[in-house]
Chains A and B, each alone.
Chain A
Amino acid sequence: MTLPAFLQMGRFSVFIWGAYGFTAIIVFLNVVQPLIQKRKMWERLRRNLDDDDGGGEEVVDEEAE
């Protein structure tokens, strides 16, 4: 099978690559989002922002999913 024929997928390329593309985006977001959240949380913990100075409540709201 040639590359153009593979990419064309018969006459269904839009639907097939659309479905796989959407799935890839969702998988990517599911990987990246927790890693960004983890990095931000580690920074906050290191800066000790979770002390009872009012900053803690703000952080809890941001972290809540």
Chain B
Amino acid sequence: MKLIHKYAAPKRFYELAGTLTPGLAIITVVLFVSGLYLGLYWAPPDYQQGNAYRIMFVHVPNAWMSMMAYVAMAGFAAAGYIWNVRLADILAKVTAPLGASFTLTALVTGSLWGKPMWGTYWVWDARLTSELILLFLYVGYMALQASIDDPRRAAHASAILAIVGVVNIPIIHYSVYWWHTLHQPASLTLTNQPKIYITMLIPLIIMSLGFMFFYLTMLCVRARSEILWRERHADWVRKLVGLET
């Protein structure tokens, strides 16, 4: 426990994030550029969907990241709530807008994929509706954070919402199996062979890694700003800003 508090000190994380950010940003750019080249040019058209399936290379990574970011946010929020780790509160807070962005992108790109394939932009099926609820959970979390001035109280109140909202994640994942949905079941699982061809799988994995590194990069950038603001009365910040010598 002492170890967690030691390494989760905001000052220590501020320095660590500052060191990691350029490397993470470079990896993100490389993954995005190569993923876009492979996804838009190298991968062949699908025999049924033609080129429309290429939306998958932005839709699926964003859908995965929307859920992963929520689990991360709830984990950070729980750590902050249980062990009073300030850094965990900060990481939960800065994850929310990123997760909301991933969710919104997944919904919009999915809608743009749905129109040519299903003939409609939107249906109230279980997968789409549960993903929309995820967006509302992110917005609710951010609204709750913004409505309380005291950061500790804001973190505690919104942590409860984040933790309760985790129940939506398995619902999103298993919705395509539990209910009859227009949305297709997962093509990639941890236990079975992938159902998509390797030339389509490679760009999908590269783009997914790209969005994962993008999340980590922006997490570091946002967390550094949040740490600086919350610790503005601390000596190390005043020295950093140049208010004290």
Contacts and interface: CB of A to CB of B under 8 A. Distances in A.
A34 B222 contact: yes
Given A19-B59, A19-B108, A46-B241, A9 B51 contact: yes
B140 interface: no
Given A15-B55, A65-B145, A30 B101 contact: yes
Given A30-B218, A65-B142, A45 B45 contact: no
Interface residues of A, number: 34
A57 B243 CA distance: 20
Interface stretch (B80-88, B187-195, B226-234): B226-234
B52 A12 contact: yes
Interface in A1-31: 1, 6, 9-12, 15-16, 18-20, 22-23, 26-27, 29-31
B97 A65 contact: yes
Given A31-B218, A65-B97, A1 B41 contact: yes
Contacts of B70: none
B116 interface: yes
Nearest to B243: A48
B98 A10 contact: no
5 contacts: A9-B52, A10-B51, A10-B52, A12-B51, A31-B218
Given A34-B225, A64-B149, 9 more contacts: A15-B115, A19-B59, A20-B40, A30-B101, A34-B222, A41-B229, A50-B233, A65-B93, A65-B96
Interface of B: 40-41, 45, 50-52, 54-55, 58-59, 62, 93, 96-98, 101, 104-105, 108-109, 112-113, 115-116, 142, 145-146, 149, 214, 218, 221-222, 224-225, 228-229, 232-233, 237, 241-243
